[in-house]
Structure 1
Amino acid sequence: MTETHGDQALATRLRATLGKRHPVFAAAIVTAGSTRLACAGADLSADFEIGSISKGVTGLLYAEALARGEITPATTLGDLLPLNGIPAARITLAALSTHHSGMPRLLPTGDLLRRSIALWRHGANPYGETRAQLLADLHRARPKKPRFRYSNLGYQLLGHALSATTTYPALLQQRLSDPLGLSWYVPATPAELRPSALPGRSASGRPREPWTGEAVAPAGGIRATIADMATLMSALLNGSAPGIAALDPVTEVAGPSVRIGAAWLTTARRGREITWHNGGTGGFRSWLGLDRAAGRGVVLLSATASSVDRPGMDLLLSGY
């Protein structure tokens, strides 16, 4: 039987729900009066790739920069980054923050197909570029008509624009990690992984390389422990998190039932408004959801690339 740590009842419930597909997972349930943590297949100090929940973190940094008066919604990429008048320079940070910039999902580089094949055949990291390399190749991107189009590239650019005078890890440390007491980190190379870093596996159980890289950091490069995620949820629920306005929806995604703030989605479920984001990398899946009215949050992390969205939402709505 898989070793479990923390809240044994929570671990047992989730082990039954997730089954053999997720042998290594961690979960947290946060309310105003308690925090419950559980981990299976690793101890509570293990860190996971949180994937695109990193976009939600970058959304907090965006909203915090707005609150500080450092930027406005109309600030463009060209105002902050050396883009030499290429089409992407005219895109506003506000459009990037809600995935309405018209930017493609990924930067169309010449070796995009090769990277995709290497990922699916060999589990290779499809990212790894530096910020300088990302910006040097940005002329390849041709923004389309602004509408909702989920874009990893857009959030990479948003994060690097916000940290144009420093680095994304440094901005993350200053604005969120230090104020909230978080130990999460953003490895640029595999050599920067901590001993606590878990290996990830595909849905079929095949090993996957860690997704590291300076360029991808704002869109999917953060690694965190379950305690880090619980601390973040607590701050989001009590309103003390820097950039908390990122959670407030400002436009629709797919009609009035799904709205978006700065990365964070708000969806109606069983008569309740759930604010959430999920994440996925080559070897990990994650889901974080908040019932802000009830003061309750759930996060679920797995070291297997198989969705945990439904189990996460069910756990949040169950009131368990």
Structure 2
Amino acid sequence: MPLLQDTPETPAPPARRRRWIAAAAAALAAGLLSLPLAPGPARPADPVTGDTALAEQARELLGDHPYTALSVALREDGVWRTAGFGEAGGAPVTPDTPFETGSVHKTLTGMLLAELIEEGEIAAGTTLADAFPDTHFADPDLAATTLEELSGHQSGLPSTDPSRALAGLLPLLSRGDPYAGLTAEDVIAAAAAAEVPESPGYGYSNLGVSLLGEAMARLTGTPYQRLLDERVLGPLGMDATVVATAPAEVPDGAAWPHDANGVRVSPWYSAGYAPSGTSTWSTGTDLTRLLDAVADGSAPGAAATEPRFPAGEGTEVGLGWHRSRIGGEEIVWHNGGTGGTRAFVGYAPATGSAVVVTGTTTEFLDSFGMRLLGADVPAAPGSGQGPVLTAVTALLCLAGGLFLLEVGTRRLSGTRLRPAPHRAGTVSASVSALAVLALAHSWGAWALVPPALWTLGAALTAFGITLAAGRWPRLPLTRGHRALGPAVSGLSIAFSLTLACLALWPR
């Protein structure tokens, strides 16, 4: 008799074989069904309107830049040409389509200050202590800050109220509005409690410009919005530029904000932060009027473009407006961004060229606008989604399915390192896997990651759920403490469902 001999392979039990076949079938079905749902970067829908040559130039410069709707206006040799991409409010984008302006609105707040100073209604050296005599500022240096320094971002105030960092985190995660409900009183209280560094220099501050708006309102006895309408917007004929502090006030036909993955997000509404650009909407037509009047000096408060303070290498800031020297070309400009819209306005005094760009995306359009003006700046990448978010996206797509696969193949007897599975844990793991898939779909770096990875994750998750569910009759309800086990699983399920709601809740 030989010492060694071949041993016939023991066939898998029929139940186990059926379980694996069912899991494979579920994975195939999930993969096929998920194909039309696969995420991807935002892309504008047809039609394309306006000047054909400008549209082609814009497409070439934008490359893979993600957006759902875009409006472009370019002035060369004194003539404006426009192009629109995608739809807004069920109609093609045109120069009259309203977009959020974000911080572009700071230029109007700065021009309002320049106009009031020029008319002698506010002194150039007016301080916060002068504007708010009944307010105690914790930092006396801040109380001595002038309104011009607020507009030029020289106050040392933080960008927003630091005490609301946690309160604003949930709206950001759910693509909501981090400024919702904030009033002028909230702005004053946040500034009054702030401490600023000595000789702060340039530090971009939404809080500071918002405080400036309320200071001008207090000094003139006129609400900020009415003051802006009467002194700047009205004379310029910018009738389509509005402050919308509630959903009902959003202009008809507006381009609703979307992120770089094409997910609809909430506009921003805040009366308190409106002077810095929350709640503000405008059109390409209105913004071209603004640039024409600012460039020829006829606009109220046109002196706001004159440089007053250094703002970094090659850049100076006036009252709101920035001036940058790029490759020997001087450009007067400002950008803007909200939760799902980006804007850029600028002009080159030497050549007379000017540009207005507004788009529904979370990727800045500054480089695109500068290049339209002829500035020698690097092309913006297709997305600002970096390697960290790319790695997290891949992990979210695959981790849940891989974990379920491990649960579905874990020994029922268990060990100290690999405890035996149970029903509560299997349900918890399944819900968690589906939640992280939803999170990856909504927040993933889909401008960089192939959408097929999400489809693979969906198939792998279906495979793991089916494999684990096939053992359901043989599993106990829970293991360990009879009350603690289900409670932990319940908390895990609740947390996972909350994540899924944050990712998928319609805005």
> How far does the alpha carbon of each residue in 1:108-163 deviate from its partner, in whole angstroms, 9 at most, with x for none?
23x322313421x2111111312133224433322222311111101101112112
* Structure 1 position 46, deviation (Å): 1.5
In structure 2, the partner of 1:26 is 71
Aligned residue in 1 for 2:82: 37
Residue identity opposite 1:191 in structure 2: A
Indicate the residue corresponding to 2:349 in structure 1. Answer: 292
2:213 alignment partner in structure 1? 159
Query: Could you say what secondary structure the match of 2:336 adopts?
Result: strand
Instruction: Indicate whether 1:148 and 2:208 are aligned.
Output: no
Match of 2:283 among 218, 225, 243: 225
1:46-78 Cα offsets, whole Å, 9 max, x none, are 211111111111111111111111122320123
1:74 to 101, 112, 125: 125
Match of 1:201, SS?
coil
Higher normalized helix content (fraction of residues): 2
Structure 2 equivalent of residue 90 of structure 1: 144
2:178 is equivalent to residue 126 of structure 1: yes
SS in 2 for 1:39: strand
Correspondence 1:246-285 to 2 at 5 A: 246-255=304-313, 257-285=314-342
Return closer, same or farther for 1:249/1:310 CA change in 2, 3 Å cut-off: same
What letter is aligned with 1:184?
A: T
Name the SS of the counterpart of 2:162 in structure 1: coil
Query: The residue matched to 2:229 in structure 1 has which SS?
Result: helix
For 1:159 and 1:23, how far apart are their aligned partners in 2? 32
Q: Which of residues 162, 170, 174 is equivalent to 2:226?
A: 170
Paired residue for 1:139, among 187, 192, 195? 192
2:254 is matched with: 197
Name which of structure 1's ranges 66-75 and 23-32 shifts more when overlaid on structure 2.
23-32
Contact 1:97 1:158 in 2 (8 A): yes
Corresponding residue for 1:304? Answer: 361
Aligned partners of 1:20, 1:90: CA distance in 2, in Å? 44
Structure 1 position 318, deviation (Å): 6.6
Does the residue aligned with 2:231 lie in a helix, a strand or coil? helix
Amino acid at match of 1:230: T
| Per-residue CA distance 1:152-182 (angstroms, 9 max, x = gap) | 1011011121122222211111112111111
Which of 166, 169, 178 is the equivalent residue of 1:116?
169
The higher radius of gyration belongs to 2
**2-structure distance, mates of 1:74, 1:272:** 32
Within the candidate set 39, 44, 48, 2:99 is matched to 48
Q: Is the 8 A contact 1:30 1:233 kept in 2?
A: no
Asked if structure 1 preserves the Cα contact closer than 8 Å seen for 2:346 and 2:356, the reply is: yes
Unaligned runs of 5+ in 2: 1-44, 88-92, 377-507
Once the two structures are overlaid, the 10-residue window that deviates more, 5-14 or 302-311, is 5-14
Please name the residue that 2:154 is paired with: 100
Query: For residues 293 and 163 of structure 1, what CA distance do their matches in structure 2 show?
Result: 36
Structure 2 Cα separation of the partners of residues 159 and 7 of structure 1? 38
Which has more strand, going by share of residues?
Answer: 1
Q: Residue 288 of structure 1: SS of its match in structure 2?
A: strand
Q: Say which SS state the counterpart of residue 233 (structure 2) adopts.
A: helix
CA distance in 2, matches of 1:207, 1:304: 10
User: What is the aligned length?
Assistant: 316
Residue 104 to residue 177, structure 1, CA distance change in 2 (3 Å): same
Deviation at 1:83, TM superposition (A): 4.5
CA distance in 1: counterparts of 2:130 and 2:192, whole angstroms: 16
**Structure 1 residue 16, shift from structure 2 partner:** 3.6
CA distance in 2 between counterparts of 1:34 and 1:49 reads 25
The CA RMSD over aligned residues, in Å, is 1.9
Q: Alpha-carbon deviation of 1:290?
A: 1.0
Q: In 1, Cα distance between the equivalents of 2:370 and 2:267?
A: 26
Distance 1:81 1:189, change over 3 A: farther
Q: What SS does the aligned partner of 2:150 have?
A: helix
The residue type paired with residue 58 of structure 2 is L
- Verify: 1:240 aligned to 2:294, yes or no: no
Aligned residues with identical type, % of pairs: 36
Partner SS, residue 37 of structure 1: strand
Q: Is the 8 A contact 1:50 1:280 kept in 2?
A: yes
Q: Distance in 2 between matches of 1:83 and 1:304?
A: 42
Structure 1 range deviating more: 39-48 or 282-291:
39-48
Greater mean deviation of Cα atoms: 149-158 or 66-75 = 66-75
Whole-angstrom distance in 2 between the partners of 1:261 and 1:239: 15
**One-letter identity of the residue aligned with 1:11:** A
Q: Which of 230, 241, 244 is equivalent to 1:187?
A: 244
Secondary structure of the structure 2 residue equivalent to 1:103 = coil
Look up the SS of the partner of 2:343 in the other structure. Answer: strand
TM-score by length of 2: 0.60
* Structure 1 counterpart of 2:285, one-letter code: A
**SS class of match (2:73):** strand
Q: Which has the higher contact order (CA 8 A, sep 6+)?
A: 1
Counterpart residue identity of residue 59, structure 1: G
Asked if 1 retains the 8 angstrom alpha-carbon contact of 2:68 and 2:258, the reply is: no
Distance 1:114 1:132, change over 3 A: closer
Of 30, 38, 54, which residue of structure 2 is paired with 1:10?
A: 54
For 1:47 and 1:126, the matched residues in 2 are separated by 21
1:64 partnered with 2:115: yes
